A and B are shown apart, each in its own frame.
Chain A
Amino acid sequence: MIGDYTFGEFTSILAMQGFAGLSLFSVFVLMALGLAIIFGQMGVINMAHGEFMILGAYVTYLCSHLVTTYVPVLFPVYFFAAMVLAFCASFSLGVLVEWALIRHLYRRPLDTLLATWGLSLILQQVYRSVFGAREVGVTLPDWMMGSVALTDMIEIPINGLFVMGLTILIAFGVYLMMARSTFGKQVRAVLQNRVMAGAVGINTKRVDRLTFGLGCGIAGIAGAAFTMIGSTGPTAGQLYIVDTFLVVVFGGAGSLIGTIASAFTISQAQSTMEFFMSGSMAKVLTLLTVVGILMLRPQGLFTLNIRR
């Protein structure tokens, strides 16, 4: 492979593909963080996670549309408001779903899988009915367009950088919340020993509901980030759900660091290989490797020892 390129060109290619992979990485991380909380901490398989992400993407699209129509002055900063709204929308839907559906199924993880798959079908059709079957894209403000030239051969798109920064910020925020805040401690307490957590006065049902909502809300932010790298359609979420589950399982369910590390590995591997072979083969090879490693090491890369 290297034969056709000089060493300098080769490193530039790797760097460019690496940065292209970073956008994918960001969406993976944000999706997977939400899923790691829901699946890793609560043991619920949320197949509708992709649809929660797409909800965030549609909210961002609506914001971009409304802002350009009514208050074009605010256009350069609309994205921040959109992110907050995306979080709120997905969070509220998540809390609603937990109340209506998930809380009845905590002891039957495989059934949550089927029920949330049903939910995802319904949500897809709702999106199709409301927003139409065609894919929509958002207009980015000017300051996010363009790219930074690092050397004459390496260029980094600004929106990619922005999403990257955002991802790091959110990942750090989630880490802080889980590790330091009272709520995070409660979540971990409930995870480790539900009965004892209840006995010391933690409202476990409320914690469950908020945890699920939080996971969905982060998916909503992932949706906002997703609008920058792809166009939003009713079924776009479904394309990512298996990858995201693999990211979470590969990283070791329950480990946030593992989730981030595995999202990074998978997205980088895929993006780098895409340059050398067709996109589909790159994906096949990546997924095969991940599945292969999981067969050898089923507990994932990083694991916490959790007493269940």
Chain B
Amino acid sequence: MTSDTQLFKPREWVALAILAAIILIVIPIGVDTFRLNLVGKYLTYAFVAIGLVLCWGLGGILSLGQGIFFGLGGYCMAMFLKLEASTPEATKIQSTPGIPDFMDWNQITELPFWWQPFHSLSFTLVAIVAVPAIFAYIIGAAMFKRRVGGVYFAIITQAVAAILTILIIGQQGYTGGVNGITDLRTLLGWDIRTDDAKTVLYFVNAVLLIACLVAAQFVRVSKFGRLLVAMRDREDRVRFSGYDVANFKIFIFCLAAAFSAIGGAMFTLQVGFMSPSFVGIVPSIEMVIFCAVGGRMSLFGAVYGALLVNFAKTTFSESFPELWLFAMGGLFIAVVMAFPNGLAGVFRDHVEPALLKLAQRLPLWRAGGVPLSSSAK
């Protein structure tokens, strides 16, 4: 019998190995650089989905504003890259050389003070995680300390996402407006637009994703993870047991925000721009569906969910653009009505027992004496 506090149970080690093999070996071998870049983009959403599994699946806090954090992380990265691309030499045709092109178009003659620190890569790397986490802390502290939760939290986060989008679009001179921050070229002199760079970035992204997954699993199996589940199911009892429920909620919300932000930063690096269309309400809700399709309780499911939904989205919208919204809408309804535990639930209830039954027929496994029948949970 394995202990419950182990980081990964044997079966989960297999799942991790399979996932790592798929995203580190099978996909890079199987597809060309263009498609690899696309898969890398999908995987950046998996960061958000992992955060949502912690926050929503375990903690029961549905945030409809993960796009905020994805966007903040992405914008931090984009600001650094944009400043690097806007050297005085590269922008000498502007009326004010040395500032990003969109500022020049909007008659801004000086770099705003809050852009200044983004000249430094180390500051940027800290900011990518810190800015969204602090922002999440403010929202979380204001809401959870007052015991606002559930539906109200969802609506407020959604409103914040809407506000941020309107703000970014409205403040064109400082943020690049509706087009976002585009035309990003190099990272410390290294051209991120070449095929080689894209391949390298894909692997960086994949390794980061697995690291986040392991970190999330660590949180999940820890005592804190158990408290989260307890809070989701019976918040009052946890509170009466002497735990400070609000702080746990704030922490998990900030952690989910930080994961999303890493995803956002990797998105900017791989796709080469960041725009408000990844911040608002629609993308934020789509991110929830990645998590829901994968299974809101399953970290591995979240990654597969993000991959599958995005793959379906690209395929559908390339070949049948009218059908895509029907498919997406149907997916939302189907996941809620028929598969509340998503792909992971289907796998656990149908695929895994079948596999195990098959495995038990093989003499090798029977000899091993692994307690396979205890697979119900």
- Nearest residue (CB) in B for A122 is B329
State A109–B151 Cα separation when bound (angstroms).
7
A245 x B158 contact (CB < 8 A) = yes
A280 x B332 contact (CB < 8 A) = no
B163 x A287 contact (CB < 8 A) = yes
The secondary-structure label for the interface of chain A is helix
| Interface of chain B residues 292 through 335 with chain A (CB within 8 A) | 292, 322, 325-326, 328-333, 335
A249: B residues at CB distance < 8 A: 152, 155-156
- Nearest residue (CB) in B for A43 is B151
**Most A CB within 10 A of own CB, among B159, B330, B340:** B159
State A280–B292 Cα separation when bound (angstroms).
33
B167: A residues at CB distance < 8 A: 280, 284
State A121–B332 Cα separation when bound (angstroms).
9
| Interface of chain A residues 90 through 134 with chain B (CB within 8 A) | 101, 104-105, 108-111, 113-115, 117-122, 124-125, 128-129
Given A115-B337, A117-B285, A118-B333, A110-B154 contact (CB < 8 Å): yes
Task: Judge whether A151 is part of the interface by a CB distance below 8 angstroms.
Answer: no
State A86–B142 Cα separation when bound (angstroms).
41
A110: B residues at CB distance < 8 A: 62, 150-151, 154
Distance to closest chain A CB from B60 (angstroms) = 8
| Interface of chain B residues 167 through 203 with chain A (CB within 8 A) | 167, 169-170
Task: Judge whether B160 is part of the interface by a CB distance below 8 angstroms.
Answer: yes
Please classify how large the interface on chain A is, using the bins under 10, 10 to 19, 20 to 34, 35 or more: 35 or more
Given A111-B336, A111-B340, A245-B159, A120-B146 contact (CB < 8 Å): no
Contact for A101 among B152, B288, B337, CB less than 8 A: B337
A119 x B329 contact (CB < 8 A) = yes
State A128–B156 Cα separation when bound (angstroms).
29
Given A113-B154, A115-B336, A291-B159, A284-B166 contact (CB < 8 Å): yes
| Interface of chain B residues 113 through 165 with chain A (CB within 8 A) | 142-143, 146-148, 150-152, 154-156, 158-160, 162-163
User: Can you identify 17 A-B contacts, CB atoms within 8 angstroms?
Assistant: A101-B337, A105-B337, A114-B285, A114-B289, A114-B336, A115-B333, A117-B329, A118-B328, A118-B336, A119-B329, A121-B328, A122-B325, A122-B333, A245-B155, A280-B166, A295-B142, A298-B148
Task: Judge whether A224 is part of the interface by a CB distance below 8 angstroms.
Answer: no
Task: Judge whether A45 is part of the interface by a CB distance below 8 angstroms.
Answer: yes
Distance to closest chain A CB from B49 (angstroms) = 14
State A109–B281 Cα separation when bound (angstroms).
18
The secondary-structure label for the interface of chain B is helix
State A273–B235 Cα separation when bound (angstroms).
41
State A117–B146 Cα separation when bound (angstroms).
28
B155 x A118 contact (CB < 8 A) = no
Q: Given A110-B62, A118-B328, A245-B159, 10 other A-B contacts at CB below 8 A?
A: A113-B64, A118-B329, A120-B329, A125-B322, A238-B281, A246-B155, A287-B166, A291-B156, A291-B163, A294-B156
Given A118-B330, A129-B322, A45-B288 contact (CB < 8 Å): no
B330: A residues at CB distance < 8 A: 118, 122
State A52–B269 Cα separation when bound (angstroms).
40
B331: A residues at CB distance < 8 A: 118
A115: B residues at CB distance < 8 A: 332-333, 336-337
B169: A residues at CB distance < 8 A: 280
Task: Judge whether A242 is part of the interface by a CB distance below 8 angstroms.
Answer: yes
Given A45-B151, A104-B337, A110-B150, A122-B326 contact (CB < 8 Å): yes
Which residues from chain A sit less than 8 Å from chain B, CB to CB? Answer: 43, 45, 101, 104-105, 108-111, 113-115, 117-122, 124-125, 128-129, 238, 242, 245-246, 249, 278, 280-281, 283-284, 287-288, 290-291, 294-295, 298
Distance to closest chain A CB from B237 (angstroms) = 18
A287 x B159 contact (CB < 8 A) = yes
A121: B residues at CB distance < 8 A: 325-326, 328-329, 332
- Nearest residue (CB) in A for B280 is A242
- Nearest residue (CB) in A for B155 is A245
State A175–B332 Cα separation when bound (angstroms).
34
State A238–B160 Cα separation when bound (angstroms).
16
B150 x A109 contact (CB < 8 A) = yes
State A271–B336 Cα separation when bound (angstroms).
39
A124 x B337 contact (CB < 8 A) = no
Contact for B158 among A101, A109, A242, A278, CB less than 8 A: A242
- Nearest residue (CB) in A for B335 is A114
Distance to closest chain A CB from B374 (angstroms) = 30
Distance to closest chain B CB from A125 (angstroms) = 4
B154: A residues at CB distance < 8 A: 45, 110, 113
Contact for A295 among B143, B162, B285, B329, CB less than 8 A: B143
State A280–B169 Cα separation when bound (angstroms).
8
State A233–B71 Cα separation when bound (angstroms).
27
A288 x B163 contact (CB < 8 A) = yes
A117: B residues at CB distance < 8 A: 285, 329, 332
B159: A residues at CB distance < 8 A: 242, 245-246, 287, 290-291
Q: Which 6 A-B pairs have the closest CB atoms?
A: A118-B332, A280-B170, A121-B329, A122-B329, A125-B325, A295-B142
